[in-house]
């Protein structure tokens, strides 16, 4: 009987681990530090207990040298960027970049549009492009995701451009940046609950209390604070991610204090996951 219980417990643990959330880091958080010493800062990331990265590019190193640096520090690139214009003209190059690292996600971070909120027409065109490219990516084992940036929430009376995209995303999913959604006037937790299963990645980024919103996807990056200390319900989002099976909880800290803040944010995520 004891053996059966032990085996059952092991299977439960393994099953949970298969769906467990992993803390990742968007390397843009260390964009300034990487210009100075990429080797040092990849080593530092490893000491924070992070092994999954969004990034790619190699910081001037050869593919061989960069892959060696990653391997030596138990790091791996799980997501690469998917430039909007490249999605239109050369999607194969994005697929190639993802495959180079074994990454299963490619994220578009910005839709080119006139300064200010994006129009519904522009959002419809982007949705069509993402569905077309996403179908192509899926055949290669890669999921295309879109990263809302706050300019998608202008309400026209019949909803927002973001509502349209969420409702019409058939062959792509979302890497929701909760800071920028909040900046644009959206409610990231409510959106996640309304569209369960569409968020395999979350960019967790908290906002300093009292920060005014912005409808154009712009804002002061120095308002990025340690997770759990701002005005975004990060705990609620982590709990919902756990419920939905979101794969990567990606820390992105764009502030000049990122090196000091990231380890504190890692500890906060772990504290909520372990509740």
DSSP state of 149: -
Nearest-angstrom CA–CA distance, 217 and 249: 21
What's the Cα-to-Cα distance from 30 to each of 75, 83, 203, 209, rounded to whole Å? Answer: 15, 20, 15, 23
pLDDT at 2 over 90: no
Is 165 in contact with 146 (CB distance < 8 Å)? yes
More confident residue, 219 or 16: 219
The enclosing H or E element of 110 equals: none
Output the CA–CA distances (angstroms, integers) from residue 153 to 62, 213, 217, in the order listed: 41, 11, 10
Domain 20-273 falls under CATH 3.20.20.150: yes
Beta strand 143-146 with 173-177 is parallel
Mean pLDDT of all residues in the chain?
A: 93
The pLDDT assigned to 56 comes to: 83
**pLDDT reading at 1 higher than 60:** no
pLDDT, mean of residues 175-192 = 98
pLDDT digits (tens, 9 = 90+) for 39-66: 999 999 999 999 999 998 899 999 999 9
Q: Can you tell me which residue has the tokens 């990454």?
A: 103
Q: Give the pLDDT band of residue 146 (cuts 50, 70, 90).
A: very high
pTM, whole model, 2 decimals? 0.92
Residue 158 has what pLDDT? 82
Beta-bridge partners for 105: 79, 143
**Length reported for the chain:** 275
Domain residue spans in the chain? 20-273
**What is the per-residue pLDDT for 19?**
57
- pLDDT above 80: residue 225: yes
User: Strands 224-225, 206-207: parallel, antiparallel or unpaired by DSSP?
Assistant: antiparallel
């Amino acid at each position: 009987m004891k053996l059966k219980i032990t085996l059952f417990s092991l299977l439960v643990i393994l099953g949970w681990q298969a769906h467990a959330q992993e803390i990742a880091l968007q390397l843009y958080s260390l964009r300034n530090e990487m210009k100075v010493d990429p080797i040092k800062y990849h080593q530092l990331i490893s000491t924070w207990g992070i092994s999954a990265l969004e990034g790619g590019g190699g910081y001037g190193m050869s593919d061989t040298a960069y892959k060696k640096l990653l391997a030596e520090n138990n790091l791996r690139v799980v997501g690469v960027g998917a430039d909007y214009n490249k999605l239109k003209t050369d999607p194969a190059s994005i697929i190639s970049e993802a495959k180079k690292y074994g990454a299963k996600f490619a994220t578009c971070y910005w839709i080119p549009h006139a300064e200010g909120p994006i129009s519904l027409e522009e959002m419809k065109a982007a949705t069509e492009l993402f569905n077309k490219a996403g179908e192509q990516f899926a055949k290669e084992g890669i999921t295309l995701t879109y990263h809302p940036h706050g300019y998608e929430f202008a309400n026209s009376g019949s909803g927002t451009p973001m509502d349209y995209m969420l409702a019409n995303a058939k062959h792509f999913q979302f890497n929701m940046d909760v800071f920028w959604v909040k900046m644009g006037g959206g409610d990231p937790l409510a959106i996640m609950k309304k569209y369960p299963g569409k968020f395999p990645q979350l960019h967790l980024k908290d906002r300093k209390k009292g920060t005014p919103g912005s409808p154009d996807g712009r804002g002061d990056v120095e308002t990025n604070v340690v997770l759990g200390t701002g005005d975004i319900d990060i705990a609620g989002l982590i709990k919902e991610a756990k419920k939905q099976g979101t794969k990567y909880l990606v820390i992105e800290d764009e502030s000049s204090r990122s090196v000091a803040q990231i380890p504190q944010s890692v500890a906060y995520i772990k504290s909520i996951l372990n509740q």
